[in-house]
Structure formats: structure tokens, C-alpha cells
Structure 1
Amino acid sequence: MRLVFAGTPAVAVPTLRALTEHHEVAGVVTRPDAHLGRKRTLTPSPVAQAAEELGLPVIKTAKLDDEATANIAGLDAELGVIVAYGGIVREPLLSAPAHGWINLHFSLLPAWRGAAPVQRALIAGDAELGVSVFQLVPALDAGDVFAKQAVAVPSDVTADVALDLLAADGARVTAEVVDAIAAGTARSRPQSGEPTLAPKLMLEDGALDWAQPVASVFARYRGVTPEPGAHTTIAGDRLKILVAAPATDAPPLAPGEILGTRTAVLIGAGDGALEVTRVQPAGKGPMNAADWWRGLRAENTVRAGS
């Protein structure tokens, strides 16, 4: 089958690679190069880099406007496949391929429709994550589903690791759906159940509330790491929490109370403590939490969240 693929981040690359094994990818649509790192180096997206390696034509566009629509329609693809492109496919582009577009979404739809499904699921403490491949329609992530697959994700991994695991399984599921569409055997079903929404995370979503149970604090840490980043305030300054886990055998600590150890920092929550091993103070680089705490020379009255 002749395909057009749209995607931008690294989690879209496994699907692109999988599709090239059995189908013709006529072109790849991705976001323009971005300035990254401290030196703000202009860098192609991970999908653009993979497409170049695979020798595939690339269309770089920040939005699917009339010009981009004409260029993509000119590829004469039979099916469009989209994975985290970062833009909305509207008519007439939505109907340009004979089979329309399918979307790999990192949730078990209709759960967590939107831009941050894995992150929101982790914050909510969901025990099960998964992927769905569905027919793209104008409404947000609302199309009929061709395939869903639950994916086992360790209970302590952060959103970036969870996404990598889902991307691998999602690539396989998407390739199977494309094979079925090409063979004429694909069947889709309407979504059933109450939808939940997963809007894009903002900086404030990373703020940890130490009055919450430690399981809830850790769940939010998992969901917002690495972006936008888990953080708290110490004497009015933001402190980014880079590496943390629920503490075991911690002494009783009030919510937000900090106890330094030789190798870590314990911060009290509603019913336990979070063990923090790596942090990043405002205006500084990442460092060991124990070193940060010793350097702060704080009074015992200093609390997280204050």
C-alpha cells in the first residue's frame, strides 16, 4: 500500500520504520527543525532524521495549510498514518487518501483523548496503559477503533520510559492494521465508554502537593517527568525533582518536612515520604539531592512547598 506518514517526536519513529518493511512510504510529514539545547542548535525532528536515513521524501511544515495540503495530496497516497505529528488534519486533506487517515494514540480509547494521554494516565494512577489505532475524524480522537492493545508498564517508570514502551508495541499494532487495510480485512468498531480528556501539560501541572498521599505525589512525579518536570518550592524558589521514589522505612515526617540523609533527601507527604535523589535548583544544573541539601544549610523549619 502507498502511504503518507505524519509524525514528529522519537515515539513516532518505530511506527515509521515498521511501515517501511512492507509498504511504500511516499512521503513523510513532520514539524520544522527546532532550536534545541543550550546552544540552540537548529535540529531536525527525530522523524525527519529517520526519514532521511531511510531515504524518504520529507515535507516539513508547522501546520497543514493549503500549501501543505496540496503537497501531501500530490503524493497520491492510499492511506495516511499519523503518530504524534503535532497538528490537526482537516478537510480536504482528511479525505485525500482513498482510505483516509489512521492514528496511533497512546491510550485505550476512549480513555485519555488529547495531547498527553500517557502523562495524564500516570498522574491519575491508572494501573493499565495501552495503545489504540483508530480512523481519524474531525472530532478529537473520536473515530472508530481498528485495534487496541494493553501494554505492561512497570509501576515505577516515568512518562518518557512508558512512552518508549508504548511506542514499540504501537508500531507493531499499527503495522498489523495497515496490513489488514491493504488486504481488505480490516474492521473497526465505534468507541464505547465514557471519554476522559488529556489536555497538554502546563508548568503548573508539575507542582507537587505534599498534603496528598505519597502514592498520589509519586504518580504526579511519574506523569510530569521529564516534561514539564516535577517541582516544589523551597523558601520561594522552585526546585525541580528529577529522580524520586516512595521512601521505605522513613521516619514520620509532616507534609513538606525535609530530612537530609547521606545519600538522599526525604520529603514528607500526607501518609509517608518521597525519597528524592536528584534535583535541579533554579538557575543551576542537575545535582545529587543530598549535596544540594547540605549546600543549602537550611533551618529545620524550611519546608517543601513554602
Structure 2
Amino acid sequence: MSSPRARTKSLPHAPLPEPPVVPPQDGRTLRIDNSARGIALLLLSSIFMCSGDIASKYLATTLPALQITWMRYGTFAAIMLVTISLTGGFRRMSTRRPGLQVLRALGVTVSSILFVAGLHDLPMADATATSFVSPLFVTALSIPILGEIVGWRRWLATTVGLIGVLVVVRPGGEGFHGASFFVLGSSFFWAFSLIVTRMMSRTEIPVVTLAYSATIGFILLSLAVPFSWQALDLKAILIGLFIGGISTIGHIFLIQAFRYADASLLAPFAYSQLLWSSIFGYLVFAAIPDVWTYVGAAIIAASGLYTAHRERIRARQVAG
């Protein structure tokens, strides 16, 4: 039996068309596609979570931070529990590290309350820029908790980052507000939760960890919220549901982003939150950040990016 190419040559007046040449998708192309997907998901995550933050700031003018966080976690817990039930049932909720799950939930919950409390008095851009200090707290906490050895380069980056925080906060200056300490506290507890997450990463599934954090956080907040409860109208309820829903979607996008791309690649794009915070703050509150907010944020971002770079080098040394 002759080949198709041989038959084509025997019929010069009616040649068969050559099939299109489709280059195989090599590993490099696949990595580029995954990286682009991861970056897009991270940017979407930043937009969604900033939307939740601006809505929280709006509610914070009339409601206490504890109650706003309670509404957010109620929606968060409901979404996660429904997700778990639809994707394998509650048998997936088993965990090998229950103590660490509780610690992480405490860290994330306290971080959320403090951030919303800071939003009551701080412009969105200032609060966001100050929160960029979290990676520096991670560096500091990794020593006593994880037993990591931090070299002088990372300590230098941490010191530079703290200088950036001082530029944004400006203690003693006209732009200083005590609410900045709420955001710094929020960043500290968020960094603590990241350290705990790292400790659980080899045994726990991310969606299960999220479900535990949402459920435990909601239970703890439900015990505390009666002491600061204020009556809710329909508008506040709808905004609270919006905050919970859009923040949860943002967290899901964030998790998916790290499935497709390395943390070191995504790190620069995480600082896009300052852009979205500035835009949303202007559109909703007509707030325009001053130049020192951007200068300080740039210093913090540079130190954070260098820290991520050193983390990547250290990981390669350990692996190789």
C-alpha cells in the first residue's frame, strides 16, 4: 500500500494539500502559558480582595470592625463548606495537624479584625502600603519558629523595608495616625499565619486549610460579636455578603495562581494592590495618596522583592 505522499506525486494535476505544520508544545511553552495564567489569577485576586477591603472601609464608618469581620467570615465559611461538600464530602476535612489549623485560624482572624480597624481611619493606599511589611515579618518569625538561618543580606533587606514603613507611617509627622499600628499588627499576625501554613504544607490540602480557617474564625467571632453588636439594615447585610463573597473568590484565585507559577515570579505583581487601592480609594472616597506613600511603598516593595529573590536562591541551594 502506497503512502499518501506517493499518491500525491502520481497526481500532479490534483495534488493533495499538505497538512498544516503544528509545532509541538514543549515544556518551555507550557511553562510560559502557566506563568501567564498564574500572573493573571494573581492580578484578579488583588482586584477582588481590594474590592472587599474598600467595601469594609465603607462599612467601618458605621459598624465595628469585629462585626464586619464576622459577616465576612460567615459568608467565607458557608462558601468553603459548600465547596467541600460538593468536591468530596466532609470526609476530606480530616487533618493531621489540628493544633496548627487552630493557630492559623487565630492568626488570620486577628489579622482581618486589625486590618478593618485600621481602615476606619487610614486611607486605603496607606493601609495597603503599610501591609506590605508582612514578608519582612515572615523573615523575622522564621528564625524562632522554623529555625531558619537568616543571612546578612536578608536582614539588610528587612531593615530597608522597615525604613519604607517609617516613610509611609511617618510617626510624629502631620500624616501620622495611630491606626497605622492596627495595620502593622495585622501584618504581623498575617505573617504568623503564613509561617504556620508553611509548617502544614506537606500534609494539608489548601482547600481544607481554608475551610478550617473560615469555620474556626467564624465560630470565634460569633462568640465575641454579641459584645459589640449593632443593628444591621438591608444595605449593610448586602455589603457584608459582598465582602465575604468577593474576598473568598480572591483567596481562591490566589491559591490557583500559586499552582501555576512560582512565588518568586508572582511576588512583583502582588504589589499591584497599591494601584487598585489607590484607584478604589479615589473613586469611593476621593482620597489621593501623597507622594510619601508611594515612596515608602516602593522601598518596601524593593526589599520584599529582594527577600523573595534570596528565598529562591536558598531553595535552589537546598534542593541541589
TM-score by length of 1: 0.25
Tell me which structure has the larger Cα radius of gyration.
Answer: 2
Name the structure where helix makes up a greater proportion of residues.
2
TM-score by length of 2: 0.24
Name the structure where strand makes up a greater proportion of residues.
1
